[in-house]
Structures are given as C-alpha cells and as structure tokens.
Amino acid sequence: MPTAAHSEFRPRIAVIGRFAEQTSALRYRALVNARALLEAVWAAGGDPVTLLPVAGADWAARLEGFDGVLMPGGGDIDPARFGLRERAENVYDVDELQDAADFECAEFALAAGIPLLAVCRGLHVVNAVLGGTLVQDLAVHHRHLTHDVVFDARHELFGLAGPAVSASCYHHQAIDLAGRGVDIVARAADGVPEAAVFDGPGWAVGVQWHPEDTAATDPAQAALFEELVRQARLGS
C-alpha cells in the first residue's frame, strides 16, 4: 500500500460504497470500493471514507466534516433515470437503492460546491443528474482497454501537465447527450466522451476511464487524485 508521507492535513473524501452480492472474506453481501481507488486517494494525501448508500438521506448532514466527494465506478444506472423506457440486453447490476443514493449525493455535492471527482459510472450519474443521457451499450465495448485520450481544452482543471494521457478503461456505456452545464473536454479516437467538466459553484470533473488502475505507476493518473485532494484542502 502507498506510504507517501504528507505533513499537511488529510482532507476527508467521501466515497460512495458499491453493493456486492458476494465476497469471499465476508461470506454474505457486502459494501465495497476498489482497493486501488482508496489507496490512490490516500497516496494523494486524502483520507478516503466509504459511505453506505441510503435513500432519502440528509446529505448536508452526512457530508458534514467531509472535504470532497468521489463518485466511483460500478454497475449500470436504470435507464429510466435518463428517460428511456427500454433496457438494453447487456445492462447489468441495476440497483434502485444504489441509484437513489448516488443521484442524491451527486446533486447535493454539485449544488453545495463540494469538490467532486466522478469516475466511470460516477460520470454517468452526474451527467444523468444534469439531464443528460447515456448510450446503453456501445457497439464496441471499452473493456480491458488502454488507449490514448486527448483533451481539447481545460486539462489543467484535472491536474494534468499535458493534454494527452494513457487511460485504462472498463465500460460498455458512455455519455450520449450531455446534460446541462456538462462540457465534454476529451474524447477517445472513436469519439467516445472521456472527460467532462461540470458547471457549478465548486470544482467538479469526471473521467470515463479508471485512473486508479494505473495511478501507482502513472503520474498523470495520480495527478487526478492529487487535484481532488488539493481542491478539498482549498475548500476546508
């Protein structure tokens, strides 16, 4: 596990947990987050805390004492949440409670200006919260795929030194119609949106890929988490 020393205050980063139907160590259903994701936040100087998804929560109270929010990857969103009646055959792991918690948390964080980093499913959640839609099943899936992503603008907002990154992807959905105030700033070679900036009172960005996959060895991916932590410190 990363052990980088940070003498500064560690901002607390709320990471919405993901439901798992089976985990070997816990025997029954569990609440999880990717170890690499949490370690990347810690290595960047933050203190990640997994939150239980619950519906109808008072998010102002739940996020009191937190300095940032990370919306992680996970299963698919119910298409009804972005206005589609039909569900594609390959849509998987839809969970009403997970959707409710993610949507409510994202909506509050955006309105309150809490620094927000959205990853993969997290990007989809924020886009849908802002009225956007998704491609339910890409013609060519981006699973177990590492490819180049080039920003056409605003890469500095992500903490990146340059406009090009090598991105580790695992997804079969993507943004279709961008929501209100969702500025697509990077795409893959096949045109799939890969990064977005969300308009609002605080720092809020999203990436389609999984920066945690390679953050331990790729400074550009680590920089995304460092920027989240930096923004969280600024707001604390």
Q: Is 122 part of any domain?
A: yes
Q: Is 7 part of any domain?
A: no
Which among 104, 124, 169, 212 is annotated as catalytic?
A: 212
Q: Is 22 part of any domain?
A: yes
Q: Is 4 part of any domain?
A: no
Q: What is the CATH number of the domain that holds 228?
A: 3.40.50.880
pTM of the model: 0.94
**Domain span holding position 86:** 12-235
Q: Is 135 part of any domain?
A: yes
Catalytic residue at 89? no
Count of beta carbons in the 10 Å neighbourhood of residue 89: 8
Q: Which residues on adjacent β-strands are paired with residue 210?
A: none
Query: Residue 99: in which H helix or E strand, if any?
Result: helix 96-112
Q: Is 3 part of any domain?
A: no
> Which residue positions in the chain have pLDDT lower than 50?
1-6
Summary mean pLDDT of the chain = 94
Contacts of 209 (CB under 8 A, 6+ apart): 119, 120, 149, 167, 168, 169, 194
Number of structural domains found in the chain: 1
Catalytic residue at 120? yes
Q: Is 66 part of any domain?
A: yes
Burial group, residue 162, by CB count within 10 angstroms (0-12, 13-18, 19+)? exposed
Q: Is 178 part of any domain?
A: yes
Tens digits of residue pLDDT in 102-160: 999 999 999 999 999 999 999 999 999 999 999 999 999 999 999 999 999 899 999 99
Which among 124, 142, 155, 210 is annotated as catalytic?
A: 210
In angstroms, the CA 129 to CA 123 distance is 10
Q: Which residues on adjacent β-strands are paired with residue 128?
A: none
pLDDT at 4: 46
Which among 120, 155, 171, 226 is annotated as catalytic?
A: 120
Catalytic residue at 212? yes
